[in-house]
Amino acid sequence: MLGLIWGCSFILIKRGLLSFTPVQVASLRIAVAAIAFLPFTIFHWKKIDWSRWHHFAIVGLAGSGVPAFLFSFAQLHIDSTVSGILNSLTPLFTFLVGIWLYGNKPSPSRFIGVGLGLLGAACLVFFGKTTGQDSHIGSAMLIVLATMCYAISVNTVKTHLSDINPIVLSSVAFQFLSIPALGILFYTDFQEMLQTKPDAIVSLGSIVVLGLMGTFLASILFFDLVQKTDALFGSMTTYIIPITAIMLGIWDGEHFTLLHVFGMSFILLGVYISRK
């Protein structure tokens, strides 16, 4: 389910960019999710352990805030399918961050699972021909940076916030982003563009769906998954995202070859072995 939801997110970002700037797309996406989470924050206010506010803030910024802007800027120059594929680097950085910063001691099967999944993703990036656009290293590096942020967030959740209800965790994390996101949004010419751009309603609808599904719902599901398993396995759901992205590309008329099948097979095999 997460692979399907997040796999659709990149096309929704692309639709949002038809009428709005990357800053507007990212800030509106965050604002929509934060508003959706607000009732949960209010309801659970007295039960929240605010002494761990810094961990909540890290999860909000690294898990959603910063990556939302990085992906929006990246997709000005690269295809949404490539964005989805590059996002599968998240487990690799989750694995490395877990070792370097949190002292995790992974089993050999984790090394093999991450390696196979990364190999499959590399096949899709370099040999799959999932996009007609030329390589844009700078934009690709923005997505790599976003996956590093995800790695920090997911390890923080598993190490410091594994006892927090996923809904509470998500809602509190997003409240640290709500005021900055709304402030940034209204500082821009968002209202003018909404009234003047011919496709503004379609773009707005795409961003709202992105905020509610790809951010609000997906955050709850993802944190629940991380708490029930571990940081590495939770992050490996990003290996399924390229599959969804490529299937959407086929639906949109993009090219599909046996190399795609080969790459996806390694991805799924890597996810399976990582659970051993």
pLDDT tens sequence across 232-245: 677 777 777 877 87
Residues 6+ apart with CB under 8 A from 99: 105, 106
pLDDT at 203: 93
pTM: 0.82
How far apart are the C-alpha atoms of 71 and 15, rounded to whole Å? 13
Is residue 13 a contact partner of residue 71, using CB atoms and an 8 Å limit? yes
pLDDT at 128 over 60: no
274, two tokens: 């990582």
Please write the tens of the pLDDT for every residue from 162-185.
Answer: 888 889 999 999 999 999 999 999
pLDDT at 96: 78
Average pLDDT over residues 95-119: 76
pLDDT at 81: 73
Residues 6+ apart with CB under 8 A from 142: 70, 71, 73, 74
Average pLDDT over residues 35-40: 94
